[in-house]
Amino acid sequence: MNQSAIEVRGLTKKFGKQIVLDRIDLTVQQGEIFALLGPNGAGKTTLINILSTLINPDAGSARVASYDIERNREEVKGSISLTGQFAAVDEMLTGEENLQMMGRLLGLSGKETRSRANELIDYFDLKDAAKKRVGTYSGGMRRRLDLAGSLVVHRPILFLDEPTTGLDTRSRRALWDIILELARKGVTVFLTTQYLEEADQLADIIAVISNGQIVAQGTPVEMKSRIGNEVVELRNEKDEVIREIPTNGSIHEVKQILEDVAFTMPKNTRISIRRPSLDDVFLSLTSEKGRDS
């Protein structure tokens, strides 16, 4: 049985009168990629900031690498790496100099720092740009350098706060490959994202947060099964989706759906059936109807 890397119980945080996190419970197993999925303002970054000891909760408890986040702050810091939403690199330095500076700040010797920087430059495919100023880097290169900086010293738990926001498709997929490789090497990855495809592609477990509460949690397959086995799509003459209806996929239920919409939809409406996606789950769970249910 896997040992838990992160345990959160009843975690609550308020800013003024606004409840940002409302009695959050979750567990992340060692070596797992855990994706916290939610819209802007749902509390994702606040949760990461608490778990990485940057801010304190108002109530509840959490353990990271078996250490209490309030009583054992230094031990927690020594067990984690953190990459925030914005690349924390010095644009005036080269990529190589950024990594070497990080190594020295983290207590490595000059020899160790140079060796580790070279390893990470190769691993993150930054060799051609290693001696160039970071101010000349593309967004994807800065993000890779930022993640490399988080890994100068090996830590068992990696927090990634919306790691691919603003990246193009190619850069995003390149970063996905790196995250998957880190997990294969045993690193526990806790990431937040607004990208449904990202959570689907990367995560072993997904939790959806809405209005400061975890409204659902499970594997990608389990999450999709909440919607039903199939989704009936209705499209207009411009091939635009005008309605989506979950169904169990049986002949009886599909027949009933078609009978229900036959008299309300235009005659040229086209019908197709597809498997449910995380988009369907997300929209259902984060809507008022989804929360009430």
Per residue of the chain (293 residues), give pLDDT as tens: 568 999 999 999 999 999 999 999 999 999 999 999 888 888 999 999 999 999 999 999 999 999 999 999 999 999 999 887 766 788 899 999 999 998 888 888 989 999 999 988 988 889 999 999 999 998 888 888 988 888 888 899 999 998 888 778 888 888 898 899 989 999 999 999 888 888 888 999 999 998 899 988 999 888 777 655 677 778 887 878 777 776 766 777 778 877 777 778 877 888 877 666 666 666 666 664 344 43
Helix (H), strand (E), coil (C) string for 175-227: HHHHHHHHHHCCCEEEEEECCHHHHHHHCCEEEEEECCEEEEEECHHHHHHCC
Classify domain 4-224 at the CATH topology level.
Answer: Rossmann fold (3.40.50)
Other residues' Cβ atoms within 10 Å of the Cβ of residue 171 = 18
Phi, psi angle pair for 167, to nearest 5°: -90, 150
Phi, psi angle pair for 269, to nearest 5°: -65, 130
Amino acid (one-letter) located at 233: E
Residue 116 near residue 152 (C-beta atoms within 8 A): yes
Question: How far is Cα 293 from Cα 285, in angstroms, rounded to an integer?
Answer: 9
pLDDT at 281: 67
Which distant-in-sequence residues (6+ apart) come within 8 Å of 163 by Cβ?
A: 83, 143, 147, 175, 179, 191, 193
pLDDT at 171: 82
DSSP annotation of 128 reads G
Amino acid (one-letter) located at 143: R
Residue 110 near residue 97 (C-beta atoms within 8 A): no
pLDDT at 291: 43
